[in-house]
Amino acid sequence: MAIETKFPDKSAKVLLVDSSGAVRQLLSEVAKSVGFTSAQAVASIADAHNILETDGADWLIVPLSADQPINGMHTVRLVTSFYQLRNVRVSFLLDEKETWCLPAAFESGLLSYHSKPFTKDSLKKELEDFMATFEKYEWDGTLLSAHYLRKHLRNAKSTIELVKLEKRLLDLFPGNAPQLLNLAFAQNLDGKINEAKCTLKQASFINSSLSEDIDKMAQDLFGSTDLSLPPNEDGAVVGNVLGLNSVVIIDPEDHIRNEVKRIFEELGVTSIQEFTSGDAAWEAIDSGEEPNLIIMEWRLQGITGPLLIQRIRSKGFLKCPLIVQSSLLNPSDMPLIREMGVANIIQKPVEKEAFIKTIVWTVQQDRMPTESQTLETKIRAMIGIKNIGEADTLAARYFADESIGEGKKNVIRAELAYAKGQYEGARDFAIESLKGTTESIFALNVLGKSLMVLRKFEQALKCFQKAQSMSPINLERLISMAEGEAEAGDLEAANEALAQAKDIDPSCETVLEGAAKVAIASGSSDSAKKMLGQIEAIGNVISYLNNKAVAHAKCGLFDESLELYRKTLDSVPDDKFDVKATVTYNYALAKIRHNELADALVDLDSIIKMPENKITKKAASLKKRLQTAVAANAAFALNESDQYNPSPTSTTDEEQAADSSTIASAIVQTTAGDLCCYMIYKSEAPPTDALKKIMATPPKFKFRKAIERGERFENGDSKSKAS
């Protein structure tokens, strides 16, 4: 359970630290008086750390104790150093002379700070204000922490750092109108009057309901509600209100494109590309960098919307939010739209205020997803670009949401398991999901892919056929069906599936790649060689086949793995020396794992005899070690450095390997916004001698087995939290 969810009902376990028994008694009484029933006071920060090691806690309120071996700064650093403490939050009790530590403390993940000395009444009011502010920010620890950091920076008149903080928060919460007001206030404090006016204008543009607040702030800051700039600066945009650097607009209607472009210009976007047809859009997208946002009509001339969106995603552009803006969508279009991870749908005609709200919401969800559907889309995008760590991080939030059914969660578990090479686990999670409903296209997709790897072709094809009946123009799935039919020996059915794909999009590179895969699967090496010679990104096919061979080996299908390498090698065009060397090398690695050492030596020798390529030296080094082992009749083990896979989207054995017990577990990696202002705020001030001194000897910290098992301690006895 996330720490924030424990504050509204005051169920958070609170540890309070002070060396004075009287102060500890007061702290405990105040904490309980504001509703925290589980509040424990201890004499030192070291004692608090001991409790963290065994019993755990949710919120620590500690002094700085700069003169002690274990101090408050150490406590703050612990929560970002240990995965098990990711939900712990730390607040400081400081006197006025100790506020010098606050920039470093907030940089390290401090939640809040409160004043010393205090009375019972003053401390109670501080904690009540703390809770009221937390609730105002909807229990978002990042915004609460920023509130206290903002207060400190304003008091310290650190205006440059304040502006940087507000801009960084705006990056994290793009289009957040209250945050724009905070930025305008900071810019004005820093003497940047025109920038502050521009920021207020953008806030008004995004949220007209804030006009009274904006007018009041303008009056207070500038003595007037007039936000116009001097003539030579009129129209200047400072910063970028949504953090969008590049937007692509695809629509055949001139007035729609012009209106949408005008809105994005007012939002501060400087790079906006416009296209009237799918053909023109694809030519530009295919040869350019991934944009920050794409807005497209569904019914386009040339390459239609359904085909264009598949080309964009198959190219690997999975991170950019994609919005369909159309009044011509049919219910039959919706399954493909979901599969392609469309972020939002906007109905025509364009209504400016509603359009802006949709854009702002879409960008906010892309930066920090909270809605279940957005989380699903983001998880799939991270899986697609092989960022499994980030996918796990997002999945942890998804699994913690009690409003999401187990059926949907099992689909995500299945997709994560498949991405980690745990094919039997992926199969089982997908089947479990489908017990609740047979209409989950994502469950059918991952089940079909898992069964393909496990070489259960008949069952896999049934899954794909069912999914295809729901979304008939999914090219990737049609190609998977063709490949499955070829693997099963039914070339007629394979060619029929390929023909359907070609009918849908005959000039798509993905279709040609699919045809090459089918030719390799069926053993038609000459045909495959010709096709691979025509494919621009031959590495995509080779990487796919290499990963497939690795997957077969992981499932114990060693003969099938070796056969696939052989078929692939026979299909590589003769002039593609780098590709041929790569496949041969991976083929040799597979033989070594299968203890066919003599054959592996032959393959490595053939690489060395090829024209010099990227892998010549690696092959020579491995050959030398292998020869020594064979001559001595000794066992041979591959090193991690022996692996080679030049494709950035491919996965090695080691990257795929994971214990089956961790299929659904999340390896949470802290990112900006996860833990107060950690990774958001960075103090520009060099560390003082006092700060260096108190951080010089971080304390040792080791979790005891009780907390790892989810137990707590009461009166010296260990009890399960579940009990």
| pLDDT tier at 553, thresholds 50, 70, 90 | confident
Residue 552's pLDDT is what?
87
| pLDDT tens, residue by residue, 325-343 | 999 899 999 999 999 999 9
Closest among 464, 521, 514 to 487, alpha carbons compared: 521
Q: Is residue 475 assigned to a domain?
A: no
Confidence check: pLDDT of 169 > 70? yes
Q: What is the per-residue pLDDT for 232?
A: 57
User: What pLDDT is stored for residue 4 in this prediction?
Assistant: 59
pLDDT tens for each residue of 589-608: 999 988 899 999 999 999 99
Residues 7, 150 within the same domain: yes
Residue 666 is predicted with a pLDDT of 33
Residue 184 to residues 225, 234, 481, Cα–Cα distance (Å): 14, 17, 56
Tens digits of residue pLDDT in 219-264: 999 999 998 877 655 555 556 788 899 999 999 999 999 999 999 9
Q: What angle do CA 632, 638, 640 make, to 5 degrees?
A: 150
pLDDT at 656: 35
Predicted confidence at residue 635, as pLDDT, reads: 87
Residue 711 confidence (pLDDT)? 45
253 and 227 fall within a common domain: no
* Strand blocks (E) in 307-347: 322-325, 344-346
| pTM for the structure as a whole | 0.82
Domain boundary among 233, 254, 279: 233
Give Cα 537 to chain centroid, integer Å.
26
> For residues 270-287, b (16+ Cβ closer than 10 Å) or e, as one string?
eebbbbbbbebbbeebee
Burial of residue 716 (CB within 10 Å: 0-12, 13-18, 19+) is: exposed
Domain check: are 101 and 204 in the same one? no
As a whole number, mean pLDDT of residues 195-199 equals 91
Residue 96 lies in a domain: yes
Looking at residue 451, its pLDDT comes to 96
Q: What pLDDT does 707 receive?
A: 46
3-state secondary structure 346-378: ECCCCCHHHHHHHHHHHHHHHHCCCCHHHHHHH
Q: Check residue 214 and give its pLDDT.
A: 93
Mean pLDDT lowest for which of 133-147, 493-507, 699-713? 699-713
Give the burial string for 518-535 (b: 16+ CB within 10 Å, else e): bbbbbebbebbbebbeeb
Q: Structure tokens of 507?
A: 């000039």
Residues 133 and 276 in one domain: no
Tens-place pLDDT, residues 388-412 = 988 998 998 899 888 999 999 999 9
Would you state the pLDDT for residue 652?
Answer: 37
State whether the Cα torsion 41-43-48-53 is positive or negative: negative
Domain termination residue (choose one: 308, 336, 367): 367
Q: Does 143 have pLDDT greater than 70?
A: yes
Q: Which residues of 318-352 are buried (b: 16+ CB within 10 A; e: fewer)?
A: bbbbbbbbbeeeeeebebbbbbbbbbbebeeebee
Domain presence at residue 291: yes
**Cα angle at 474 between 470 and 475, to 5 degrees?**
150
> Do residues 226 and 284 share a domain?
no
- When divided into structural domains, the chain yields a total of 3
Does residue 187 share a domain with residue 314?
no
Claim to verify: residue 254 and residue 344 sit in the same structural domain: yes
Of 669 and 173, the one with more pLDDT: 173
Q: What is the average pLDDT score of the chain?
A: 88
Do 58 and 24 belong to one domain? yes
pLDDT band at 702 (very low <50, low <70, confident <90, very high): confident
What is the tens place of the pLDDT at every residue in 68-88? 999 999 999 988 888 778 889
> Alpha-carbon Rg of the chain, whole angstroms?
30
Q: Write the DSSP assignment of 178-247 as a string of letters.
A: HHHHHHHHHHHHTT-HHHHHHHHHHHHHH-GGGHHHHHHHHHHHHSSS--PPPGGGTT---S-TT---EE
72 close to 65: Cβ distance less than 8 angstroms: yes
pLDDT computed for residue 466 by the predictor = 95
Residue with tokens 């502006």: 163
Same domain (yes/no): 131, 265 = no
Same domain as 148, residue 178: no
Let me know the angle formed at the C-alpha of 140 by 136 and 145, rounded to the nearest 5 degrees: 90
Does residue 53 sit within a domain?
yes
Residue 629 is assigned to a structural domain of this protein: no
Q: What is the pLDDT of residues 429-444, one digit of tens each?
A: 999 999 877 568 999 9
Q: Does residue 349 form part of some domain?
A: yes
Residue 662 has pLDDT above 70, yes or no: no
Domain that holds residue 184: 174-233
Region of poorest pLDDT, from 99-113, 293-307, 492-506, 707-721: 707-721
Backbone angles phi, psi at 293, to 5 degrees: -160, 140
Assess whether 89 and 141 both reside in one domain: yes
Q: In what order do the strands lie in the sheet with 246-250?
A: 271-275, 246-250, 293-296, 322-325, 344-346
Q: Is the pLDDT of residue 505 over 80?
A: yes
Q: What is the CATH number of the domain that holds 353?
A: 3.40.50.2300
Q: Let me know if residue 204 belongs to a domain.
A: yes
Asked if the model's pLDDT at residue 294 lies above 60, the reply is yes
Is 645 contained in some domain? no
pLDDT of residue 712 exceeding 50, the answer is no
Looking at the structure, tell me whether residues 142 and 218 fall in a common domain: no
Q: Which of 210, 233, 256 is the last residue of a domain?
A: 233
Min mean pLDDT across 20-29, 298-307, 362-371 is at: 362-371
Check residues 290 and 704 and name the one with the higher pLDDT. Answer: 290
Tens of pLDDT, residues 349-390 = 889 989 999 999 999 999 888 899 999 999 999 999 999 988
pLDDT score, position 659: 32
